[in-house]
Amino acid sequence: MLSIFDHGEGPWNHPRWLVGSANVDSFADAHWQRGPAVFTPEAPASPFDLDELDAAFDRGLLRTPYLELVRSDKVTVPPDAYTTPRVVNGRTHDGFADRAKVLALLRAGSTLLLRYVDQWHGPTRELVARLSEELDRRVEAFFFVTPPGGQGLAVHRDDADVLVLQVAGRKTWYVHDAPAVADWSPGELPDDERSPRLLRGVLEPGTVLYVPRGFAHRAVGASGLSAHLSLTIRDLSLQDLRTALEELLCEGLALPALPLGEAAITDACAALLGQVRARLETVGAEELRLAARAARPRPPDATARAETIAGTAQDWEAGGSGAGGGTAAVSRAWSRLRAGARGGR
């Protein structure tokens, strides 16, 4: 079975910070896409914790759809139960996180879910970009806060491998077997589906749980206010392969986008079929798989530094390449204008 360990780069030789140095080989050989496992890395791996969550509330910009309150008992928590509106420039905008409301719902048994933390938290974005580069897969980050006895989601399957980084409190995890059929669907398990349980474990701060793609699982708060960061590692779907195959088969084919008339359409059909038949003789499974991976969206380079406002301001002050040559250049131009005005009197 092909996996990320078969391509020579050895990506799991690098993220020892996530599963621990002593566990890298056993994880690669025995657990990756095969079965769940719990690890204790040498140092805490999560860049996002409850202090960072409070900081996000303090900044005042956290809002839906990045936060949600959920329950496993099919009770829907409406957004206005944990958000508040604000008036900006005379207009009312809904969906801003209300910490007091969130705390009240946590005490009542709901779970706080923060979506795509990598999109709005810098250190988490760097972690996700680094892991995505090393695994050659798209990675996303979600943060869960659950009270004792609370369960945010019913037993379900994810269309991703999941790494759970426990950061506060204790949480009991139940991981069940992989789907019994090839044509499975992610989401909550039907009431009539029974999947054998493979693991029951209590995560404490600093421990990491791995759940393979498609393996059913659920989590229940054990003690304290339990919080964890989930890193979802997305793999290829059939649609990804279809899209990549179309690109490969049509590569280099120059045809008009809008052929005019039946004759032109027929000629385009013939040219397209000829190209596809010829390319099918040469395209192999490995080439298709690599093309599909290369076409997946990539996160920003973890080592690249985007241009900053502060840096641009310093450049302007130094008379650098900012618009108009910076404030110094503007000041010189204004002085020349004033001198010219005085001379014209």
117 Cβ contact partners less than 8 Å away, ≥ 6 residues apart: 48, 124, 141, 142, 143, 229
Residue 110: pLDDT band (50, 70, 90) is very high
Do the bridges between strand 67-70 and strand 111-114 make them parallel or antiparallel, or are there none, so unpaired?
antiparallel
223: pLDDT strictly greater than 60: yes
Q: Is 308 helix (H, G, I), strand (E, B) or coil?
A: coil
Is residue 317 very low, low, confident or very high in pLDDT (cuts 50, 70, 90)?
confident
The structure tokens listed for 8 are: 């020579």
Give residue 128's identity as a one-letter amino acid code.
V
Tokens of 319: 């008379």
CATH H superfamily, domain 4-49+113-234: Cupin (2.60.120.650)
Please spell the DSSP secondary structure of 252-266, one letter per residue: T----SS--HHHHHH
Read off the pLDDT band of 337 (50, 70, 90). Answer: low
Q: What is the pTM of this model?
A: 0.79
Q: Where are the domains of the chain?
A: 4-49+113-234, 238-295
Query: In terms of pLDDT, which residue wins out, 206 or 325?
Result: 206
Q: Dump pLDDT digits (tens) for 12-53.
A: 444 555 666 556 667 777 788 888 999 888 766 789 999 999
